A and B are shown apart, each in its own frame.
Chain A
Amino acid sequence: MNGFKTLTTATVVFLLTAGTAHAGATLNAIKERGFIKCGVSDGLPGFSFADEKGNYNGIDVDVCRAVAAAVFGDSTKVKFTPLTAKERLTALQSGEIDVLSRNTTWTSSRDSAQGLHFTGVTYYDGQGFLVNKKLGVKSARELDGATVCVQAGTTTELNLSDYFRANKMKFTPITYDKSDESAKSLEAGRCDVLTSDQSQLYAQRIKLAKPDEYVVLPEVISKEPLGPVVRHGDDDWFDIVKWTLFVMVNAEELGVNSKNVEEMKKSTNPDVKRLMGVEGDKGKDFGLANDWMAVMVKQVGNYGEIFERNVGQGSALKISRGLNALWSQGGLQYAPPVR
């Protein structure tokens, strides 16, 4: 049993790892090793999905590439580990991976009792329902008595129970480890409804044999801020992952993208100059090369580029920016200044 094995290994790692308790342990280990160990999803188009050549693509994948570009100046120095929802947090806690970038929801208990740090929000999402059009259901309120497929060990599982309880409806849950199993079960008719974050529902739908027969219901029943996660104990590493995200957003806001980086280095705008590492020591403050922000944007792109390429108009998913537009354009993506 793969999942059980991973969990058991993780537990054994817990028991055996020597307790060297000092800040910087994760970052030092990464620099010595020469690459970043990044936990991603086990196959979710737009977020992390391996193509036929085995190359990973997606927003979550690009976040890790960006961190690698920041630390090593080379976005290819990442090793991806596909994890199920059930395995992911233990894998991070036990040190099997350095950063988890796997459409994971930021919650209070994960930040506190589970010993983790969320570094920001890569995608503002919310939970929805995917049903077969044949059922004739127009709203989630009509789902009383339905059988619902859901991934094990997710916030989705908890929101599902809350929603049905709050609306005094009954349901039968079927919990699988892998999202693919849920999708297959929906197709086979084992369950009436598939519930997950809306972005995942769109991604799952294009994997179905007949995507047109399925519809996402209008209700969004929860807040699901998805972002990268690191474990407690290394503040420097936390800062780097956090600011990689902020730099992506700042770059989009300042009009810096992967194609015009070199020209922008000649910009007269002091904000851009600081971002490019042309003025000041803002890059060095992180213990990295002074121009890491420029290198990162050049190799991976700004937030808008990453979004459009993976889940937006440049992808099969065609999700609009919505909540994920910049704050200046009516969305929620906002980053503190580089200064």
Chain B
Amino acid sequence: MAEPTSTPVKPPFWNNPRVRAMVFQAVALVVTVAFGLYLFENTQNNLRRLGIASGFGFLSSSSGFDIIQTLIPYSATSSYGRVFWVALLNTLLVSALGIVLATLLGFVIGVARLSRNWLISRLALVYIETFRNIPLLLQIFFWYFAVLRAMPAPRQSLSLGEAVFLNIRGLYVPAPQFQPGFGWVLLALGIAAVLAWLLARWARHRQIATGQPFPTLSASLALLLGLPLLTFWVAGSPLVWEVPELQGFNFRGGLVVIPEMASLLLALTIYTAAFIAEIVRAGIQAVSHGQTEASFSLGLNSGKTLRLIILPQALRVIIPPLTNQYLNLTKNSSLAAAIGYPDMVAAFAGTVLNQTGQAIECIAITMAVYLTISLLISLVMNWYNRRVAVVER
């Protein structure tokens, strides 16, 4: 047994793990920054040597080309910067719609997969195994070149009540034209939403205090529909519909869903829903059967059991992989370029890049956009995940 020495020898600083860690990190930082600077310098030199314009000045010069789908006013005299916003909004539109539809469809298929009905569960199984195992690009081509190409020509359009028309150029629906006074309806909707929220709060407090449940859902729905409708009637129906009409080559007026957008959305929704269905199935199966039995023995019916016992626990398992699917869907929407839907990749990283020749700037902007969208989705989903996570007591 050695006696503990009174003054321990201080180890040399290079053996100190803290110092070492700091040194390694500093070296890594310097190397990374130096490499970045080298790339930047090198690129600048190459561009200068080849006489290629650089910088972001091109964003303010006029584009000179037209785009098939623009959510904001745009013409050939608008700037390349405007093209950026048009392209970004087109990407966001198809991604947002895709996420909502894929989630709804995925939850339905996922629950159907666990159905005790043999036919329903097998159908769900066939759906999942078919659509998640066919490459997405092929599915997009299938919808675009096989299904939507089989639609009739504009003059032979399928029509519904002479207001909705379907042909190879797209789905034409009447467009709402808001008249003065429609603002009151929107205001009423806002008031109804606030009232519904207050009602839900009051109902929850009352239930906690007295155990008395309140039909919050139906009451809120009545409020949200009733109040705006009443205002609409009082304000003298300040809304007219612009019906699409066949003029010359095409239909004019109304809103149009172009087949490029429809096939992309269909393919993204159906493909991603197959993955979401499996995630939902796994999430529900992760909640042990004892929970259901306990809930039944407490006297809750099967609807309440699903809503109050199973889903809150299943969501904790579902949310993280669901986030991945949302990110995938958003990034997969860049396959739009294959069928001419003017999204970020097709319109901005494609046409603008080609017309200006400024590859580095356009690719960098596009990558930054996808990165930002993905990080924002992750942020929201992580926040939601923390809300539904188990609260340790």
Instruction: Report A's interface with B, CB cutoff 8 A.
Output: 1, 3-4, 7-8, 10-11, 14-19, 21, 85-86, 89-90, 93-94, 109-110, 112-115, 135, 143-147, 152-154, 157-158, 160-162, 164-165, 171-177, 181, 184, 188-190, 192, 231-233
Contact = CB atoms under 8 A, between A and B. Distances in A.
B334 A145 contact: no
Q: Which 6 A-B pairs have the closest CB atoms?
A: A153-B354, A114-B357, A115-B52, A161-B76, A19-B45, A113-B53
A93 B357 contact: yes
Contact of B66 (A17, A93, A161): A161
Interface string B227-260: 0000000000000000000011110100000011
Contact of A4 (B45, B149, B337, B355): B337
Given A14-B46, A190-B169, A175 B68 contact: yes
A173 B258 CA distance: 12
28 contacts: A11-B360, A11-B363, A15-B360, A19-B46, A85-B354, A86-B351, A89-B357, A90-B354, A90-B357, A113-B53, A113-B357, A115-B50, A147-B169, A152-B340, A153-B350, A153-B351, A153-B354, A154-B354, A157-B65, A157-B351, A157-B355, A158-B355, A161-B64, A162-B64, A165-B76, A173-B67, A174-B260, A192-B249
Interface string B190-221: 00000000000000000000000000000000
B279 interface: no
Most buried by A among B66, B338, B356: B66
A192 B252 CA distance: 15
Nearest to B67: A173
Nearest to B251: A145
Contact of B337 (A3, A110, A231, A233): A3
Interface stretch (B1-9, B87-95, B341-349): B341-349
Given A176-B339, A177-B350, 18 more contacts: A1-B335, A7-B359, A7-B363, A14-B47, A15-B39, A18-B42, A86-B354, A90-B359, A93-B50, A93-B359, A146-B249, A152-B340, A161-B76, A162-B64, A165-B76, A189-B168, A190-B169, A231-B50
Most buried by A among B64, B169, B355, B360: B355
Contacts of A89: 354, 357
Contacts of A184: 145
B31 to A, nearest CB: 17
Contacts of B169: 147, 172, 190
A2 B6 CA distance: 71
Interface of B: 39, 42-43, 45-47, 49-53, 64-68, 76-77, 145, 149, 153, 168-169, 247-250, 252, 259-260, 334-335, 337-340, 342, 345-346, 349-351, 353-357, 359-360, 363
A173 B66 contact: yes
A170 B35 CA distance: 51
B66 A109 contact: no
